Amino acid sequence: MVIDGHTRTCGLIGNPVAHTLSPLIHNALAEKFSHNLVYVPFPVEKGQALTAVKGAYELNILGLNVTVPFKSEVLPGLVETDELAEQIGAVNTLVRTRGGFKGYNTDMPGLYRAMVSEGIALAGEEVILLGAGGAARAVAFLCAAKGASRVYLLNRSVEKANAVAEEVNEKSRKKLVFPMALSDYPELPDGKFLAIQATSVGLYPDTEHAVIEEEAFYRKIHTGYDLIYKPSETKFMKLVKEQRGKAYHGLKMLLYQGIIAYELWNEVKVSEETAQEVYELLKEKAGI
């Protein structure tokens, strides 16, 4: 592309950001749409997120992605927050509006689109959700929004699991999330479940572990979805497959959260054909 006086800038703020694959997604989309746009990472020192957001607006930045550790820290610097992001209490996409940025959470819609593309439904599904951190909390809200019938939230700390369950049940106004200790998985009802792995266990370089490793647990799973994408086959995924379940990694979630952000910034719709083309580039870059 030719960068000139009309080039719009989007980017990612976080710490660290040097490892990010997001520029590949957005710059590939800009090329496919012939948009005069460039996407770059912006490393921001801890404690300076609000200053960075204000500065980005003054510099006429079209939009920003936000990654750790700033997804909640930037909230006071926004003029508006999307309803889903408000519920989750975290944003990952900022869209330029009159007077400031509006915050969205495209992680969860991105996960949903990734799952749909793999033929995975949430409506009416009984879900095992592993973890009670920020990612798991967001997934629980997604399950509520998309009509899951039950969510069994398993975590080492039952206290944290209880807190997430109470919040999601209260805000969704239904008894949906049931907290449990990881070790209590034998008490799960009979049947086969969709399991979503939302902890950091198994993330590179700690690739030889899963949050639960007993075979009996994996016999309960028909489909496992790991939010981790590096390695491309986590221990969790291997254990699911060994019990004849289907297993998926989180690279498509990364793809679709980026696509949704691009759609918001540029008021376009990215086709599934284009999404698949960018996904192939992403897989190559990620070594998958």
Q: Domain segments of the chain: what residues?
A: 8-105+255-286, 109-249
Q: Is the pLDDT of residue 33 over 90?
A: yes
The pLDDT of residue 249 is 96
Q: What mean pLDDT comes out for the span 5-12?
A: 97
Whether 71 is catalytic: yes
Residue 245 structure tokens: 């379940």
Task: Give 41-53 pLDDT, tens digit per residue.
Answer: 999 999 999 999 9
Averaged pLDDT of the chain: 96
Whether 263 shows a pLDDT value over 90: the answer reads yes
Residue 1 has pLDDT above 80, yes or no: no
Query: Would you state the structure tokens that stand for residue 29, as one six-digit string?
Result: 């989309």
Does position 170 have pLDDT exceeding 90, yes or no?
yes
Q: How much is the pLDDT for 204?
A: 87
CA separation for the pair 260, 270 (Å, rounded)? 8
For the chain, the farthest-separated pair of C-alpha atoms sits apart, in whole angstroms, at 63
pLDDT of residue 287: 86
Bridge partners, 159 (sequence order): none
pLDDT tens per residue across span 133-144: 989 999 999 999
Q: Are 203 and 230 in contact (CB under 8 A)?
A: yes
Query: How confident is the model over 194-251, as pLDDT tens digits?
Result: 999 999 999 988 899 999 999 999 999 999 999 999 999 999 999 999 999 999 999 9
Of 174, 223, 226, 184, which is closest to residue 201 (Cα–Cα)?
226
Reply yes or no on whether the pLDDT at 36 is more than 80.
yes
Report pLDDT digits (tens) over 15-26. 999 999 999 999
Which is the CATH superfamily of the domain at 8-105+255-286? Leucine Dehydrogenase, chain A, domain 1 (3.40.50.10860)
Q: Which CATH class is domain 109-249?
A: alpha beta
Cα first-last separation, the chain: 27
Q: Residue 71's pLDDT band (boundaries 50, 70, 90)?
A: very high
Q: What is the pLDDT of residues 83-132, one digit of tens each?
A: 989 988 999 999 999 999 999 999 999 999 999 999 999 999 999 999 99
Could you tell me the pLDDT band of residue 178, with boundaries at 50, 70 and 90? very high
Catalytic residue among 32, 46, 54, 71: 71
